[in-house]
């Protein structure tokens, strides 16, 4: 077997210390086996493995924190002596016990690290510490980990005023991107059950035009001829969806026979040679899904809007100019409106918040009176408040265009970048991902966004219609199981019974809060991003009832680890 063949992939997971081997024997990007691995824990760890239950803690000025780090020797013969040192402190006073010890292979030792912060430590200051364990006998055997101590307030105030309404509840937790085309027996139904419990009822999916037309492969194929369309995968996918799932379809991909560069391997990402002909093909695909054309479906009511292409400001996805994309959008938008003027269309779906591109897009559409019902863009950031800040920026941009001032805003992909790690783990695969997701959702709920699609639903390699394999989902796969961030969506779904946002605030910028009310209740979500246990003083004013029944649901790392994530 050629281990460098394109159908073979390798992936190293820091979480497990294993090098995984992925094999696609039939070339169809369907994972056939993941049962071959090489244990690299000892090699990568240089003979040592270090672990602590929490790498980040917080304390007020004058307080102290305590870490326990387990050190395990994984390689080597005989006993070795190890020295422990911590560096990087600016204010803290550090003590270590024991500072040295001996281990044989397979043995472990707990190291206690105690840090005291003096009274003059500034609030919000973080001590970035490096703990190093090294062998005296063999300098090549060592391991380092980072520990973080944050100086924070001893008491955090959260204030909510039931009487002060600030807007409507926007269910931004109900949108995700992509679904698997299939999963092992029973898991697809299980996935839909999980989604239903979390109120996830809308999924953004691709509609690969180049995989549908023309079935004959002929350059003279007639777009009015149903036999030229292969709807097999689209039909199968639509048939498996529960009735309560809505869709944001993305029309993308140019058939080779319609491409302006048919000889390129990337033919599907070049502009069509004939825009109108391509538009007719897209129109008939939309008709198949919404009007029953070619023995199709009548799913117009479950379509939120039609997204026209994805990330055309990147050469990776669009090999044409900006103006060629604008013409493509214009052609398809008008074709879709010919089917039903009430169908919504949106673009330009930029990679990142590309303000110059967005302005050029709107200038072109305004000059030609082209409908833009939804203005959408993507954004990935390690700062969870970045999303709502850019929503504000795009809404401000739209104020310059009277025709589009009231267009809906769709953040049609959002997440943290794949290289965003805390404690050597990708954020979304750890509990920090839950804190990140909650902070982002709280910001978006209080922004002017209308739609916000979390990318992705599941870490599956079977997402329809393209291969997507990465850690972006709110579910692990193989086997299917929720990540911590899934339970954030489930918790936010408690807001579904509320209808109005009410004023809420906190005196600590590392605590997020959002509150919603109905006639018979109030729901308050507090997201504590502080690293240690926090004391919160909670004040809710102007409740209209004499008696209140209160339920407090706690989601933390220990509850998740114990299998009871949302503990009442």
pLDDT confidence band for 55 (50 / 70 / 90)? confident
Contacts of 4 (CB under 8 A, 6+ apart): none
DSSP sequence for 11-65: EEETTTTEEEEEE-TTSSS---EEEEEEE-HHHHTTTEEEE-S-SEEEE-TT-EE
Q: Could you read off the pLDDT of 62-120 as tens digits, one per residue?
A: 999 999 999 999 887 889 999 999 999 898 899 999 999 999 999 999 999 999 999 99
Position 5 scores a pLDDT of: 41
Contacts of 269 (CB under 8 A, 6+ apart): 253, 254, 316, 317, 318, 319
pLDDT value at 23 more than 60: no
Is residue 374 within 8 A of residue 408, CB to CB? The reply is yes
Position 468 scores a pLDDT of: 53
Position 57 scores a pLDDT of: 85
Mean pLDDT over all residues of the chain? 88
Position 464 scores a pLDDT of: 59
Tokens of residue 492, six digits: 């936010």
Position 508 scores a pLDDT of: 81
Q: Could you read off the pLDDT of 69-80 as tens digits, one per residue?
A: 999 998 878 899
pLDDT value at 2 more than 60: no
Is residue 412 within 8 A of residue 504, CB to CB? The reply is no
Q: Could you read off the pLDDT of 154-183 as tens digits, one per residue?
A: 888 999 999 999 999 999 999 999 998 888
pLDDT value at 124 more than 70: yes
pLDDT value at 498 more than 50: yes
Alpha helices in 222-320 (DSSP H): 232-240, 275-290
Separation between Cα atoms, residue 242 and residue 226, nearest integer Å: 26
Separation between Cα atoms, residue 108 and residue 101, nearest integer Å: 10
Which range, of 161-165, 416-420, 478-482, 555-559, averages the lowest pLDDT? 416-420
pLDDT value at 367 more than 60: yes
Is residue 184 within 8 A of residue 191, CB to CB? The reply is no
Q: Which residue has the higher pLDDT, 405 or 24?
A: 405
Per-residue pLDDT averaged across 22-49, rounded? 44
Tokens of residue 308, six digits: 């026209």
Separation between Cα atoms, residue 269 and residue 255, nearest integer Å: 9
Per-residue pLDDT averaged across 180-190, rounded? 88
Q: Could you read off the pLDDT of 375-399 as tens digits, one per residue?
A: 999 999 999 999 999 999 999 999 9
Separation between Cα atoms, residue 271 and residue 328, nearest integer Å: 8
Q: Which of 403, 291, 286, 306 shows the shortest CA–CA distance to 349? A: 306
Separation between Cα atoms, residue 365 and residue 350, nearest integer Å: 16
Separation between Cα atoms, residue 505 and residue 164, nearest integer Å: 12
């Amino acid at each position: 077997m050629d281990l460098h063949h394109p159908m073979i992939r390798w992936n190293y997971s820091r979480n497990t210390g294993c090098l995984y081997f992925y094999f696609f024997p039939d070339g169809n990007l369907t994972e056939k086996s993941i049962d071959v691995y090489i244990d690299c824990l000892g090699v990568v760890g240089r003979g040592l493995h270090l672990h602590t239950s929490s790498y980040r803690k917080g304390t007020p000025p004058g307080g102290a924190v305590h870490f326990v780090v387990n050190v395990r020797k994984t390689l080597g013969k005989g006993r070795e002596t190890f020295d422990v040192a911590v560096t990087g402190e600016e204010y803290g006073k550090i003590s270590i016990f024991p500072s040295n010890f001996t281990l044989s292979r397979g043995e472990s030792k707990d190291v206690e690290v105690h840090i005291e912060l003096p009274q003059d430590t500034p609030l919000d200051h973080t001590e970035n510490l490096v703990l190093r364990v090294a062998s005296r006998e063999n300098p090549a055997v060592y391991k380092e980990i980072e520990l973080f101590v944050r100086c924070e307030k001893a008491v955090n105030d959260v204030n909510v005023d039931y009487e002060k309404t600030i807007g409507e509840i926007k269910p931004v937790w109900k949108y995700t991107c992509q679904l698997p085309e299939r999963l092992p027996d029973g898991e697809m139904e299980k996935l839909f059950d999980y989604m239903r419990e979390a109120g996830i009822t809308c999924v953004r999916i691709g509609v690969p035009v180049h995989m549908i037309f023309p079935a004959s492969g002929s350059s003279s194929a007639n777009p009015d001829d149903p036999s030229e369309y292969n709807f097999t995968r689209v039909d199968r996918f639509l048939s498996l969806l529960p009735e309560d799932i809505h869709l944001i379809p993305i029309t993308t991909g140019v058939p080779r026979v319609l491409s302006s560069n048919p000889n390129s391997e990337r033919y599907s990402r070049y502009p069509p040679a004939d825009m109108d002909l391509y538009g007719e093909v897209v129109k008939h695909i939309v008709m198949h899904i919404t009007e029953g054309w070619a023995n199709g479906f009548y799913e117009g009511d479950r379509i939120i809007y039609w997204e026209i292409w994805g990330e055309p400001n990147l050469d990776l996805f669009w090999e044409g100019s900006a103006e060629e994309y604008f013409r493509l959008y214009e052609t398809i938008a008008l074709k879709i409106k010919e089917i039903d003027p009430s169908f919504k269309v949106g673009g330009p779906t930029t990679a990142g918040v590309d303000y110059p591109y967005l302005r050029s897009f709107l200038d072109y559409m305004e000059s030609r009176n082209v409908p833009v019902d939804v203005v959408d863009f993507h954004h990935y950031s390690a700062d969870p408040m970045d999303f709502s800040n850019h929503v504000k920026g795009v809404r401000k941009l739209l104020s310059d265009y009277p025709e589009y001032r009231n267009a809906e805003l769709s953040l049609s992909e959002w997440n943290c970048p794949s290289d965003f790690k805390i404690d050597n783990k990708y954020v979304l695969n750890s509990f920090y991902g839950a804190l990140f997701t909650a902070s982002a959702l709280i910001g978006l709920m209080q922004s002017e966004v209308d739609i916000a699609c979390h990318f992705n639903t599941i870490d599956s390699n079977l997402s329809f219609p393209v291969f997507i394999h990465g850690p972006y989902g709110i579910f692990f796969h193989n086997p299917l199981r929720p990540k911590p961030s899934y339970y954030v969506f489930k918790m936010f779904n408690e807001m579904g019974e509320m209808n109005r946002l009410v004023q809420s605030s906190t005196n600590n910028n590392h605590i997020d809060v959002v509150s919603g009310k109905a006639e018979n209740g109030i729901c308050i979500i507090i997201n504590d991003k502080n690293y240690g246990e926090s004391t919160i003083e909670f004040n809710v004013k102007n409740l209209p009832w004499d008696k209140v029944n209160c339920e407090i649901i706690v989601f933390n790392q220990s509850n998740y680890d114990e299998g009871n994530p949302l503990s009442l």
